Structure 1
Amino acid sequence: MAMTTDVHLRDLRYFLAVAEELHFTRAAERLYVSQPALSKQVRALERQLGVELFRRDRHGVALTGAGEALLPYARRVLDAWAEGATALATRRSTLVVGMSTSPGRGGLLPAVRSRFTAAHPDAELQVRQVSWSDPTAGLADGDADVAFVWLPLPDAERYTWTVVAEEPRLVALPEGHPLADRAELDFADLADEPFLALPRSAGPLRDYWLALDEHPGRTVRVGAEIAGTEETYEALVAGLGICLVAAGNTPLISLGGVVTRPVRGVSPSRYVLAWRKGDRRPLVRGYAEACAAVRLSIG
């Protein structure tokens, strides 16, 4: 079987996840992508290679002979790439910082960068923007070394974190919404409203921003799914729904046509810098220490 030259690492990563899970839904959850998107990508890979890699029927998913043949080579390629990326990062003293939105919050990010680079002048910092579909902002798949994320994290036992900010959750509404005239709202006032929701791949974080855990048995009507700040703003302006937002993020969406209001009955949000448990590299520890020190200095 001849592999085409334009097969990407992502394709092999998707193939490997399905091959190891033998279940598209579990593989999608592991990769933080939707199941339809994963199935579509795997079928595209099969078309590229001109072979069927998986046998799908009512009994489940199984590797075909071609899939079995490809499996060890896919593992070898991905392992070699991971080793190469690690070697390069070590050689260049690079630290990759993942995030879904800029932390903002009184200039936190540049202040952390300044303190970190003063202590590690030879280190290179790379900031990687990640869709809200991955609540770990790159930590889960190793694309980031540290990441600014919201709690709760899926598979929380895999990570360690330091709290960056604990902030009230406000409700964001189109400025013409009937509830926008009130200075403060009860969460019960929002019971019949459509909500903007994170992608399902965000797992417990989707439920958290819908406040499902704090209001057991509540049903929610989802007006639209959003995976980034711009999508959120556009959906709010279009009247597709309302959403909860951390106080520190209100400047990102409180533009023309959108207002935020305090809401009683929901707990504060926690924004953290997280890293993989057991990762004791000096740059990871140094960035966490810089972040903790800056948080104390800016209150």
Structure 2
Amino acid sequence: MDDDTAGDVEVRELRYFLAVAGELHFGRAAERLGITQPPLSRAIRQLERRLGVPLLDRDRHGVTLTAAGEVLRAEAGTALDAVAAAARRTRRAGTTERRLVLATKSGASHEVLRGLLDAAEREPGVPPVEVLLCEIGEQAVLLRTGRADVALMHRPVDDLSGFDTEDLRTEGQVAILPADHPLAVRPHLTLAEVGAIPGLPMARWPRLDGTYPDGPGPEVHTQSQLAQLVALGKTLLLIPASSRAWQWPEHVAVPVRDAPPITTVIAWPASSRSRPLAALVRTATRLRTAAQ
């Protein structure tokens, strides 16, 4: 099989395959897709013929992925995201009112964001910037699927693979504690102290696959949940120092002197050739230079 044949793979076939790979059952996958099972089975067989390799092992016990199927499961999601992103960005480019969508974690990098928006309004060549607020770790998905053109993200905690970036600010971290906690009056803490506070475990955020890491801390998936749990004395968190702009009166921020520094970056898809986006990035880097 040559590469040209592999290039004939259809988006529909990849979507069907991912449904089967996720369910490992043709009937459930067909129900999830809203189709009957026969056309789904035909599409998967056609995909295997196109690629020239078996993707699934089928027997009376069920369906499992072959080694080739595992590779395609890992790659197909990225391919579908790229197609969706291309469609969304093309539609935005074709509208009469141009805009850039900037994704940023709610409550984070507030000073950087405010300065960038103010400067962008004065910068020729930068269209209106729409701010898309999201939760922890969601910026990468929004960029890869084309829901956002650019994002404010954080190294080393965010997934920056496949993106071009420019560093904007590097800073230390603080522990956000309940205001009435005995350690709230300390001038600083260490990571060892933060990890060993009785009755105040770190909150747990979901991984990319939706599962939570093991640990005693509460499971959270929004900033508002986290803020209230801190105020109630149920958890604490580590965040970049500037992100404490969202903290409640019931919170206290204590510097953690040996926590690794966090760098706020402006990130965009490496494949982007957007001139308005390039103008926004130049504006952000000029602000960084002026602040140094």
Q: 2:31 aligns with which of 46, 49, 54?
A: 46
CA distance in 1, matches of 2:161, 2:128: 28
CA distance in 2, matches of 1:84, 1:140: 11
Q: Which residue matches 2:284? A: 291
Q: Which residue matches 2:227? A: 233
Q: Which residue matches 1:260? A: 253
Q: Residues 1-299 of structure 1 correspond to what in structure 2 (within 5 A)?
A: 19-20=17-18, 23-24=21-22, 46=31, 49=34, 51=36, 59-60=63-64, 82-83=86-87, 85-91=89-95, 92-106=97-111, 108-120=112-124, 123-136=127-140, 138-152=142-156, 156-193=160-197, 194-201=201-208, 221-253=215-247, 255-299=248-292
Letter in 2 for 1:136: A
Letter in 2 for 1:98: A
TM-score, normalised relative to structure 1: 0.66
User: What do residues 180-201 of structure 1 show as CA deviations (whole Å, max 9, x unaligned)?
Assistant: 2322212111233410132212
CA distance in 1, matches of 2:239, 2:145: 26
Letter in 2 for 1:97: L
User: What do residues 8-47 of structure 1 show as CA deviations (whole Å, max 9, x unaligned)?
Assistant: xxxxx9x9567248543xxxxxxxxxxxxx99xx969826
Q: Which residue matches 1:214? A: none
Letter in 2 for 1:101: S
Question: Is the Cα–Cα contact under 8 Å of residues 84 and 146 in structure 2 kept in the other structure?
Answer: no
CA shift for structure 1 position 147: 0.2
SS at match of 1:156: coil
- Taking a change above 3 Å as real, the CA distance of residues 45 and 235 of structure 1, as seen in their structure-2 partners, is farther
User: What do residues 121-177 of structure 1 show as CA deviations (whole Å, max 9, x unaligned)?
Assistant: 672322212222425261122211110111236663411111122111111111232
Letter in 2 for 1:289: R
CA shift for structure 1 position 261: 0.8
Q: Which residue matches 1:27? A: none
Letter in 1 for 2:100: L
Question: Is the Cα–Cα contact under 8 Å of residues 16 and 33 in structure 2 kept in the other structure?
Answer: no
Letter in 2 for 1:164: L
SS at match of 1:147: strand
Question: Is the Cα–Cα contact under 8 Å of residues 145 and 284 in structure 1 kept in the other structure?
Answer: yes
Question: Is the Cα–Cα contact under 8 Å of residues 175 and 194 in structure 2 kept in the other structure?
Answer: no
Provide structure 1 residue ranges, at least 5 long, that are not aligned to the other structure.
Answer: 1-12, 25-37, 63-74, 208-219
CA distance in 1, matches of 2:149, 2:209: 19
- Taking a change above 3 Å as real, the CA distance of residues 261 and 110 of structure 1, as seen in their structure-2 partners, is closer
Question: Is the Cα–Cα contact under 8 Å of residues 99 and 127 in structure 2 kept in the other structure?
Answer: yes
User: What do residues 71-128 of structure 1 show as CA deviations (whole Å, max 9, x unaligned)?
Assistant: xxxx99x95894365133244332111111255554x334323433433467232221
Percent identity over the alignment is 21
Number of matched pairs: 243
TM-score, normalised relative to structure 2: 0.67
Question: Is the Cα–Cα contact under 8 Å of residues 97 and 125 in structure 1 kept in the other structure?
Answer: yes
CA distance in 2, matches of 1:244, 1:189: 12
Q: Which residue matches 2:5? A: none
Question: Is the Cα–Cα contact under 8 Å of residues 171 and 242 in structure 1 kept in the other structure?
Answer: yes
CA shift for structure 1 position 285: 0.8
* Superposed CA RMSD: 3.9
CA distance in 2, matches of 1:278, 1:103: 26
CA distance in 1, matches of 2:267, 2:129: 16
Question: Is the Cα–Cα contact under 8 Å of residues 109 and 264 in structure 2 kept in the other structure?
Answer: no
